[in-house]
């Protein structure tokens, strides 16, 4: 005998959380039972609600419990003519935290990866094509991750933009602000030099 | 704007888990929404069930969804005459994993700590007293933690046992098996020397 059946089930269910193994799950289960049953009941109901109601925004594909998310409903953003393409809703959050961008988003929920069988339709590029066709978009800002797949996806979308005669730009790659040159990897330094700007 | 209201609520609810801060909670929320909605729904229902039904065993105070836990119901263990006192249900699990102990348990769910206002009644010592009085217990094994509070609790219970003429023993403190002497702290070494046994 180790745990009572229900306790064992609770521990194994907690391991569905990313980064939580068996030992952490045990610690969580005992901690909740001993100290925070109310918090756990709240988590249970919010978890259920969220999984039932949070879907993708019909326009930008980010997570929201409404048919269209708050950013897409924003009139000023809608008339900005800027569309930023990112890979995940977390990227939207990161960009929003800077408060420096006031345009719209389109969330791919992934990147092109033929080796995993992820093609243009899987990352919503047909929906993006329709938006490029029907909306008054002036510039597409490609903010996919600086990985091989992210770059390939950015190039693919840039070509798509060309078809509709819409300008596409890629966010700058270079030395992070506050970083020290001697610790920056060579690849990033190369990008920083080739992307240099006149003062 | 950062998150949709429901998503923000999910993230803040996830921080009720021990060791989970805001950033980990975000990662968990997005991961569940993107990849494991079924697991999350399962977790939600198990969490609710566990918090509603898991109570303390009426005899040993460990966590169980039954009135009396499996160990306390075991006839062989009941007739063993051994009662092991531990501080938490996790300690029971750790001891059970060794399969070397076949007696009963009593779980204090804490330790004596006058500074925090935790007295004998708060760690169930009145229930323990009744068991010592009414059950044919031959030996009480004190397996509280080797901390100041744990030692104080062990001494208190040892005195209780004396009143009922029941032998009390303390688990051995010394060098952990597989440890190297040079890395063991002085306090533990002192214990190991004073607790030496004839070969």
Size of interface A-B (CB pairs under 8 A): 171
Tens-digit pLDDT profile for residues A4-42: 899 999 999 999 999 999 999 999 999 999 989 999 999
Look-up of token digits 């969580």: A28
pLDDT of residue A130: 93
Query: Across the interface, which of B10, B90, B96 has its CB nearest the CB of A47?
Result: B10
CB of A96 within 8 Å of any CB in chain B?
A: yes
A75 shares its domain with A165: yes
A101 shares its domain with A157: yes
The number of C-alpha atoms within 13 Å of A86 and in the hemisphere containing its C-beta is 18
A32 contacts B65? CB cut-off 8 A: no
> Nearest Cα to B32, choosing from B17, B45, B14, B48?
B14
pLDDT of residue B180: 85
The torsion angles phi and psi of B187, rounded to 5 degrees, stand at -60, -45
B83 shares its domain with B147: yes
pLDDT of residue A192: 87
CA distance B55 to A37: 11
CA distance B17 to A49: 18
B72 shares its domain with B135: yes
How many other β-carbons are positioned within 10 Å of the β-carbon of residue A148? 10
Of A153 and B187, more confident: A153
pLDDT, mean over chain A = 92
Question: Looking at the domain assignment, is residue A187 inside a domain?
Answer: no
Tell me which chain A residues have a C-beta less than 8 angstroms from the C-beta of B36: 16
Q: Which residues of chain A from 10 to 49 reach within 8 Å of chain B, CB to CB?
A: 10, 13-14, 16-19, 24, 26-34, 36-37, 39-49
CA distance B44 to A25: 14
CA distance A191 to B10: 39
Q: How confident is the model at residue B197 (pLDDT cuts 50, 70, 90)?
A: confident
pLDDT of residue A41: 95
Question: Looking at the domain assignment, is residue B181 inside a domain?
Answer: no
Question: Looking at the domain assignment, is residue B189 inside a domain?
Answer: no
pLDDT of residue A47: 95
Tell me which chain B residues have a C-beta less than 8 angstroms from the C-beta of A39: 13, 16
CA distance A49 to A43: 10
pLDDT in tens, chain A (199 residues): 578 899 999 999 999 999 999 999 999 999 999 989 999 999 999 999 999 999 999 999 999 999 999 999 999 998 899 999 999 999 999 999 888 999 999 999 999 999 999 999 999 999 999 999 999 999 999 999 999 999 999 999 999 999 999 999 999 988 888 878 888 888 888 888 988 888 8
pLDDT of residue A40: 95
CB of B94 within 8 Å of any CB in chain A?
A: no
CA distance B68 to B66: 5
Å between A103 CA and nearest CA of chain B: 13
What six digits make up the tokens of B179?
Answer: 């440890």
Residues of the domain holding A31: 5-53
Q: How confident is the model at residue B169 (pLDDT cuts 50, 70, 90)?
A: very high
A73 shares its domain with A144: yes
Closest residue in A to B31 (Cα–Cα): A18
pLDDT of residue B178: 86
Whether residue B2 is predicted with pLDDT greater than 80 in this model: the reply is no
Q: CATH number for the domain including B147?
A: 3.40.1360.10
Closest residue in B to A49 (Cα–Cα): B6
Say if residues B142 and B126 touch (Cβ distance below 8 Å).
no
A48 shares its domain with A11: yes
Question: Looking at the domain assignment, is residue A83 inside a domain?
Answer: yes
pLDDT of residue A66: 93
The torsion angles phi and psi of A125, rounded to 5 degrees, stand at -70, -20
How far CA B133 is from CA of A31, B68, B170, in Å, comes to 32, 19, 20
B49 shares its domain with B73: no
Question: Looking at the domain assignment, is residue A58 inside a domain?
Answer: no
How far CA B166 is from CA of A72, B36, B90, B155, B171, in Å, comes to 74, 54, 26, 14, 16
CB of A9 within 8 Å of any CB in chain B?
A: yes
The number of C-alpha atoms within 13 Å of A46 and in the hemisphere containing its C-beta is 20
Task: Encode A123-142: b = buried (16+ Cβ within 10 Å), e = exposed.
Answer: bbbeebbebbeeeebeebbb
Domain count for chain B = 2
Question: Would you give the DSSP letter of residue B166?
Answer: -
Question: Looking at the domain assignment, is residue A94 inside a domain?
Answer: yes
| Best mutation target, A51, A95, A105, A107, to test chain B (most B CBs within 10 A) | A51
pLDDT of residue A49: 94
Tens-digit pLDDT profile for residues B40-76: 999 999 999 999 999 999 999 999 999 999 999 999 9
A165 shares its domain with A106: yes
Question: Would you give the DSSP letter of residue B143?
Answer: -
A165 shares its domain with A75: yes
B63 contacts A51? CB cut-off 8 A: no
A24 shares its domain with A78: no
A16 contacts B43? CB cut-off 8 A: yes
Question: Would you give the DSSP letter of residue A123?
Answer: G
pLDDT of residue B191: 87
The torsion angles phi and psi of B26, rounded to 5 degrees, stand at -60, -45
Question: Looking at the domain assignment, is residue A122 inside a domain?
Answer: yes
A45 shares its domain with A78: no
What pairs with residue A104 in β-bridges? A83
Tens-digit pLDDT profile for residues B74-121: 999 988 999 999 999 999 999 998 889 999 999 999 999 999 999 999
Question: Looking at the domain assignment, is residue A23 inside a domain?
Answer: yes
Q: How confident is the model at residue B4 (pLDDT cuts 50, 70, 90)?
A: confident
B47 shares its domain with B93: no
Whether residue B147 is predicted with pLDDT greater than 80 in this model: the reply is yes
CB of A86 within 8 Å of any CB in chain B?
A: no
Whether residue B11 is predicted with pLDDT greater than 80 in this model: the reply is yes
What pairs with residue A169 in β-bridges? A141
Q: CATH number for the domain including A29?
A: 1.10.8.420
Report the alpha-carbon angle B71-B72-B75, nearest 5.
Answer: 90
């Amino acid at each position: 005998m180790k745990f009572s059946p229900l306790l064992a089930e609770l521990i194994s269910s907690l391991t569905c959380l990313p980064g939580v193994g068996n030992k952490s799950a045990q610690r969580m289960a005992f901690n909740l039972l001993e100290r925070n049953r109310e918090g756990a009941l709240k988590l249970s109901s919010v978890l259920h609600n969220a999984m039932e109601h949070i879907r993708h925004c019909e326009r930008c594909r980010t997570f929201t419990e409404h048919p269209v998310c708050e950013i897409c409903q924003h009139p000023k953003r809608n008339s900005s003519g800027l569309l930023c393409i990112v890979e995940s809703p977390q990227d939207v959050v990161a960009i929003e935290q800077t408060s420096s961008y006031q345009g719209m988003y389109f969330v791919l929920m992934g990147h092109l990866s033929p080796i995993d069988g992820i093609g243009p339709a899987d990352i919503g590029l047909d929906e993006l094509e329709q938006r490029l066709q029907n909306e008054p978009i002036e510039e597409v800002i490609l903010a996919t991750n600086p990985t091989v797949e992210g770059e390939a996806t950015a190039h693919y979308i840039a070509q798509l933009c060309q078809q509709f005669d819409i300008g596409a730009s890629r966010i700058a790659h270079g030395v992070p602000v506050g970083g020290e040159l001697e610790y920056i990897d060579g690849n990033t330094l190369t990008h920083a030099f080739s992307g240099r700007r006149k003062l």
